[in-house]
Structure 1
Amino acid sequence: MTADMLIPDRPVPRPRARRTSPTAFMYDAPGPRGRRRIVIGSIISAAAILALVVLMLIQFGANGQLAAERWTPFTDVRIWGYLLVGLGGTLQAAAIVAVLGSVLGLLLALGRVSNRRWLRTICRVYTEVARTLPALLLIYLMMFGLPQLGLNLPTLWKLVVPLTISNAAVFAEVVRAGILSLPRGQTEAALSLGLRPWQVQSRVVLPQALRNVSPALVTQFVSLMKDTSLGYVVAFTELLYRGQVLASYLHLLIPTYVAVTVIYLAVNGALTGVAALLQQRLDRKRAGSAR
């Protein structure tokens, strides 16, 4: 009997699974040199932005734009109330476009992944064309083209319809990316259980896809908020239009647009924070499932 036969069998230890970052599938984590370059680049960028702000303040001061009397009107609550009415119009238009664009984008995304070739072709052509055309051009078509055909839409819809056409294509691509990111085995498993294709999409695929792309959808809503500033073209009462009217009335161009900028930063910053929270929540779930 050999010595090897006297040694009892031991379970072979398995190598521990390497924990990866939840976003490791998107890009490789930078090494020490890469992190150092990122820090240096961030410092240089912050210094350049700070220097630009300082130069702007110096120029404003040299031209009398920082004088107290030019900013005193913005201590009046009525001025901010006037601008907030415009913000209400911006949120109204953005909400309508978000709902209509999301529904149309969802249908386009489902058409893009359909088994029917003719449907995929139609949805693809629409998506590519709508993403190529500028939203401002579509607004001009609503203003000058449709009235010649005897169709004159209300002011709100002259802004909403063009933005819906443009943003639906973007929403469609975001949702389609979420659908394609899911493992194909889930669809096959659901079909093998006897679910119909529409049941697979509505009960299995879409809930996961929409949850995965929810941060991107919120980010797109931030971009949509900025697109509503084109409402000044059709004289729709939104934030930028109210800012233009107020600047003409007070003859205070820079202070007025600074106030408008502050409002945009507050609203879009809040939405960006929501997107960041959603992304962190998804990252925690992915990290928990990877353990």
Structure 2
Amino acid sequence: MSTVLFDTPGPKARVRHRIYAVLGALVVAALIAFVIYRFVDTGQFTARKWEWLQYSQVQSDLASAILATVKAFAFGAVLAIVFGAIFAAGRLSDHAWVRGICTFVVEFFRAIPLLILMFLFYYGLPTLGVETSPLFAVVAGLTLYNGSVLAEVFRAGILSLPKGQSEAAYALGMRKTQVMFTVLLPQALRAMLPTIISQLVVLLKDTALGFLVTYPELLYYARYIGGQGDFGRPLVPSTLVAAAIYIAMCLLLTALATYLERRNRRSKKHIDTDDGATMAGLGTTATGGMATGPA
């Protein structure tokens, strides 16, 4: 029985796939050209629509909006990783009641849309007499939603590790908590690093939802500038600037992930080389000992 998921395309199929790829690229290029043409035709690239970038106060406010976005991302990322690590460990607990509670929490917050979580924290808590702020609503929503996703990522990473890792740790007398947080989780973090960074990119983009709860992040400021009549209501230019900044930040995160992954591979190669050299040295010593033994 064949283990191939699909048949290797023949010469005609390869030519057909190339034609489809070219046609698809032409369609995408045509759509982009049409959008640019409409922007030009409606005067979105005139100097009047972009002069707001020349004002120092606007530049300062834009920098503050970027810092607010990075602040929400930083708090949300750190808390989501901690949340994910704790609940991933809980889902792998030997105690059924701990697994049940952690499973319910993870599945519950994964099922609720992030925007609803932000609304609940910003508009719902004050009805209960709890004072809140836009930053708290954004960070809490990002933490619970993305932390639940990361909990599943960590759990999958831990389960993918060889059982010998935990068995060796237990043989040394380590407790379950020590094995989880000292041995298994660090290895799972390294193994699942690309997936974790991808989720953090999603978290960064999700900070844009903060403008709906009046958090003064980048999209909130772009919307504010876009509605200013003094600048000709440059909604499209301000949105393009915000999109370019988001793309730049996401590319920086991707570059960081690539750097960490390459460094991780170099570290593993170095460790494997050292282990190989050690084993070779032990083998040479053992061979030498046999050669010098009594005849």
TM-score with structure 1 setting the length: 0.81
Aligned ranges 1:40-119 → 2 under 5 Å: 43-119=22-98
- 1:56/1:37 Cα in 2 relative to 1: closer, same or farther (>3 Å)? same
Structure with a larger share of its residues in helix: 2
Which of 183, 191, 201 aligns to 1:204? It is: 183
Residue 132 of structure 2: SS of its match in structure 1? coil
* Structure 1 Cα separation of the partners of residues 267 and 111 of structure 2: 36
AA aligned to 2:79 is L
- 1:44/1:76 Cα in 2 relative to 1: closer, same or farther (>3 Å)? farther
Segments of structure 2 that go 5 or more residues without pairing to the other structure are 277-295
Q: Tell whether 2:126 aligns with 1:147.
A: yes
Aligned ranges 1:114-263 → 2 under 5 Å: 114-249=93-228, 250=231, 251-263=233-245
- Give the share of equivalent positions with the same residue, in percent: 37
Aligned ranges 1:19-34 → 2 under 5 Å: none
Residue 227 of structure 2: SS of its match in structure 1? helix
Segments of structure 1 that go 5 or more residues without pairing to the other structure are 1-26
Deviation at 1:72, TM superposition (A): 3.2
Contact 2:122 2:134 in 1 (8 A): no
Contact 2:157 2:189 in 1 (8 A): yes
- 1:83/1:171 Cα in 2 relative to 1: closer, same or farther (>3 Å)? same
Contact 2:166 2:179 in 1 (8 A): yes
Higher relative contact order (CA 8 A, sep 6+): 1
* Structure 2 Cα separation of the partners of residues 46 and 277 of structure 1: 30
Contact 1:212 1:282 in 2 (8 A): no
Residue 231 of structure 1: SS of its match in structure 2? helix
1:278 matched to which residue of 2? 260
Deviation at 1:136, TM superposition (A): 0.9
* Structure 2 Cα separation of the partners of residues 150 and 180 of structure 1: 43
* Structure 1 Cα separation of the partners of residues 110 and 19 of structure 2: 36
TM-score with structure 2 setting the length: 0.80
Count of residue pairs the alignment pairs up: 265
